[in-house]
Structure 1
């Protein structure tokens, strides 16, 4: 499969990031700057996948406001088919993050009420089944409410990939864990699903996640080792240190999108994950949540990613 077609269902909204230029002090006013771009877990991952050669379609929901217009423009600019529903009387969802001067998230506010209101109905439309029929795989995120995710698990007859988004939202995926081809999550999200402590061993995480029915998972931990498991076993890769850090936002989405494309092309998990990690490093080194992924830059980043280590 040289150019897989991926249907993304989930978040596509406005991301605002405030970057502090002085040390963070709780309760204080900190100098810094604010930037804004279109983001969302599913959309970020899909854009990364498209930049690695996939064909993309997006199904989301947005309002009839200026933010919604910005989302529509970004979808078109990336050559992605737009299957989203527009609610003229509603506000487009948004995510606002505050970053310290090292680029780490201090706090974030997610205004996602339209997702809660509208996604379940969208998943019941014949248009959704038609879109799934015309694609090679579906990539969703836990911005969808549980009812919508459950419905997606019922109608998706193609490989289904998912992004956990947050510990609070990851639990929404519980009804469809056994139907997922792969779930991308961080340690805190995985701990909630596996019912283990966040500092547990990779083997304990894998056992707990397998017990939920999830047969393949990828677990990240910032700059620490990434581990993943499937039917072939458990592997671990230590990401290379970024050459410079601009913004960590979007690194997990980049990993998810690029790893998914590689898996759909038939690469084994260890090789697909190395490509995903390379994309994540480039995201951290970029001011945008979705890095450019030009072939020369991607090859240079991939060369820095070590081979996977098999774990007992």
Structure 2
């Protein structure tokens, strides 16, 4: 599917990140600095996939404001084909995060009310039907309403598309609950996986078992510095992330992993190789101050993958 089109449905908005300069002091004023850029789980994945050589359409809801123009410019710069539903009297959604000095998240606020207007009927428009018919892969992030995700996954699976989901947060991952069996892969961190299954697991090997029981055919669970786990059908593997000399910002790392994984999968790689490609892409991203590293490319991933340990098959 090297030249197959990819359609990404979901969040494309403004990310505002404040990074604390020193040791975090809860309940107090902390010195630091703000950084503002376009973001969104789906949009980050879309831009990474475009930089990895794929033809990508981004479909999202947007306001008729300056922030919306910033998102449009970011899409153009990354080579993403921008297909927004623009609500001229609304503001573009935003995500505001406070990060510790090492780049880890302290707290975040998501102002995403506009995405509620991305209803299933939007998918029935002729332009959307034509886009869906012409693509080989569909990605839906959980910024969309649950009924829209379900309608989109149903339409995509009926046309035998590769269908992937990006969990976004523990609060939003359950929006896939009605259509888990239609997803080829769902990308989530450990907290999001816990929210999906309604509990925890004692051993890493149990994640594929519990997620299959929940209805998933395939997925990837990232676990911070612990090995990431991928499964599809009855096959499951784990890959340990390499040690990083410098951590720029963890924002966008999971979206980059999803993009690297799906790019490799689309080009015929097996499960283990796809996960290693995803981890390599995430590694490039966390070394950057940007949610989508300007260094992302097929060549950069191939150079970085040499740092990623071999995959281990899980029993």
Q: Secondary structure of 2:205's match?
A: helix
- Report the CA distance between 1:3 and its aligned residue: 2.5
- Report the CA distance between 1:118 and its aligned residue: 2.9
CA contact (8 A) 1:45 1:254 kept: yes
- Report the CA distance between 1:201 and its aligned residue: 1.7
- Report the CA distance between 1:229 and its aligned residue: 1.1
- After TM superposition, the structure 1 = structure 2 runs for residues 145-294 of structure 1, keeping only pairs within 5 Å, are 145-156=145-156, 157=159, 158-197=161-200, 200-291=202-293, 292-294=295-297
Q: Secondary structure of 1:202's match?
A: coil
Q: CA RMSD in A?
A: 1.3
CA contact (8 A) 1:129 1:155 kept: no
- Report the CA distance between 1:231 and its aligned residue: 2.4
- Report the CA distance between 1:295 and its aligned residue: 4.7
TM-score by length of 1: 0.96
Q: Secondary structure of 2:106's match?
A: strand
Instruction: Give the distance between the partners of 1:169 and 1:275, measured in 2 at CA.
Output: 26
Instruction: Give the distance between the partners of 2:114 and 2:298, measured in 1 at CA.
Output: 37
CA contact (8 A) 2:174 2:196 kept: yes
Single out whichever of 124-133 and 13-22 deviates more from structure 2.
124-133
Match of 1:309? Answer: 312
CA offset digits 1:127-156 (Å, max 9, x no partner): 222111011110110000111111112211
Instruction: Give the distance between the partners of 1:298 and 1:243, measured in 2 at CA.
Output: 17
Instruction: Give the distance between the partners of 2:80 and 2:212, measured in 1 at CA.
Output: 34
Instruction: Give the distance between the partners of 2:35 and 2:123, measured in 1 at CA.
Output: 32
Match of 1:69? Answer: 69
CA contact (8 A) 1:235 1:311 kept: yes
CA contact (8 A) 1:182 1:217 kept: yes
Counterpart of 1:297 (choices 283, 297, 300) is 300
CA contact (8 A) 1:52 1:261 kept: yes
- Report the CA distance between 1:232 and its aligned residue: 4.7
Instruction: Give the distance between the partners of 1:294 and 1:257, measured in 2 at CA.
Output: 11
CA contact (8 A) 2:63 2:91 kept: yes
TM-score by length of 2: 0.95
Single out whichever of 274-283 and 124-133 deviates more from structure 2.
124-133
